[in-house]
Structure 1
Amino acid sequence: MSGTVIIVEDNAMNMKLLDQALSIAGYRTLKSSDGDGLVEMAAGGADVVLMDIQLPKRSGVDLLKELREDPRTRAMPVLAVTAFADPESVNGFLSEGFNQVITKPISVRKLLEEVEQYCNKDRLIPPGQ
């Protein structure tokens, strides 16, 4: 497996879990605890973004909107990583434009399956297209 994954997560333990799981699987990771500079980071050649919803400065939903507004990152797959696992919340995140929702506690197997699916360049299609 290969590809570059941006992890936006403010919880150090979750960041470590995501980083280690992806690194061991052969992915390059870029990390941000608050999403500052995310559009530039993503425009630099990432394949997928894993985005926590509750962040210290802006929500993951707000950061997703910034990515979707920039033509360089509009089509980038963004996966919400959240503890909000009820069907209404999951459907809400999908309707906001996230490509997929990964719920906490994180299943490493499911995480790697999802990331592999979105690192395939043929899948880079914006939601709703």
Structure 2
Amino acid sequence: HTDGQLRFLHTVADGPCDDSYGVQVAALAGLPRSVVERATDLLAFLEQQAGGARAGELGAPQTRDSGQASLMGYFAAAAMKSTPSEHPPVPEHVASVSERLNATQVDELSPREALDVLYALKNDMEGAR
């Protein structure tokens, strides 16, 4: 890849690749930019933890499990830093709309009734702004 762009070749070679292309594939697949940027940050973190070692080299995770464990450790550490008090409370109108939506038996509605419910919920959300 050059300049962050990925070009697929029509050949497959044995052995580990020399780089990670998952983030580029995610971008090509149309994942939201924020997701791709977060994945780029996580990849940089993991590469830093491996000391720049490539697959199969000393210091690099030797199995998918060990690499995954590093990533899970990162997420666990981030989760430990977050406490429920850090999250803002849900606005009352959002909670009300959520309750109404959860109580709606969608499978029992006709298409017209479903559309009416959707418009009512949308109006409630817009009216609260």
Q: Please, what TM-score do these two structures have when normalized by structure 2?
A: 0.28
Bigger Rg, structure 1 or 2: 2
Indicate the structure with greater strand content.
1
More helix by share: 2
Tell me: higher relative CO, structure 1 or 2? Use CA pairs within 8 A at least 6 residues apart. Answer: 1
TM-score of the aligned structures, taking structure 1 as reference length = 0.28
